[in-house]
Chain A
Amino acid sequence: MRLVVTAAGFVLALTSVPALAEDAKPNDAQIAHIAYTAGAIDIKAAQLALQKSKNKEVRDFAENMVHDHTAVNDQAVALVKKLNVTPEDNDTSKALAKQAEAKHAELEKLSGAKFDKAYADNEVAYHKTVDGALETILIPDATNAELKDLLKTGLKIFQGHEMHAEHVAQSLK
């Protein structure tokens, strides 16, 4: 899928972050909503893993995903309240949610070791995608300093998740 960031004057192609409105950079209200949606998606996936998995490493990872993404989203909610911004649903957040629904349905059909592997692999891929979007679009485009700061901290946390997910995926091989 193609994402055009006209103001920056370059074209980025991302495999799975859905296109933003083609001629506009996201505003802070949209960025906040994209980041929040990305977190909520991962919490939902982790809750599914906690229902389905019996593997200790997978469950520990999933529990941490619920805690961390809830903590980040709580910070995001507090910040948009403080800034008096109303998060705006947008094409990117909608498409993220739609993709996640499809993945959720796919994972729901699996069980045992197959589920564990698919969940861990998806967590690696998902965090890679979200981290890429934060680095190249959401952080550079955020104009409010506090939002930018929270996104930067979020990126470091999610990069940690990406590594953790890689370790879990590796342990399942």
Chain B
Amino acid sequence: MCLRAGGLALLAALALSSPAIAGETIRVAVDKMTFDPPKISAHVGDTIEWASSDFVVHTATAKNKDWDVTIPAKGMGRVTLNHPGEIDYFCRFHPNMTGQIVVAP
């Protein structure tokens, strides 16, 4: 009995804490050395997809070191957000390129 109740409670907790539906995909354009839009709002579980039309390789690198995504020339880079918070990011190769993601729980 006890075990079953525990199992149910665990299931209920899982259902509450993990997103029931897959997160959204949010597209950020990388064009002429800028992240566009530079500031976006997202939720935990969402995926950010950077789509570059530049002919040089970029990165989207979180200042808090949470992630470091390579964005190939004329290609895509993706990251799924796992933590809430305000994340400033930049391109390691061209630190004059900066952006920010505000991640809500």
Question: Which chain A residues have a beta carbon within 8 Å of chain B's beta carbons?
Answer: 64, 67-68, 71-72, 74-75, 153, 156-157, 159-161, 163-164, 167
Say how far B93's CB is from chain A's closest CB, in angstroms: 5
Closest to A160 in B: B94
Bound-complex Cα distance A161 to B92 (A): 10
28 intermolecular pairs with C-beta atoms under 8 Å apart: A64-B57, A64-B93, A67-B56, A67-B57, A68-B56, A68-B57, A71-B55, A71-B56, A71-B73, A72-B55, A72-B56, A74-B55, A75-B55, A153-B54, A156-B33, A157-B56, A157-B94, A159-B96, A160-B33, A160-B91, A160-B93, A160-B95, A163-B94, A163-B95, A163-B96, A164-B92, A164-B94, A167-B95
Most A Cβ at <10 Å: residue of B32, B33, B54, B73:
B33
Closest to A74 in B: B55
Residues of B within 8 A of A153 (CB): 32-33, 54
Determine chain B's interface SS by DSSP, over half rule: loop
Closest to A155 in B: B33
Bound-complex Cα distance A164 to B97 (A): 11
Bound-complex Cα distance A64 to B93 (A): 7
7 closest A-B pairs by beta carbon, nearest first, are A160-B94, A156-B33, A163-B95, A160-B96, A64-B93, A68-B56, A71-B56
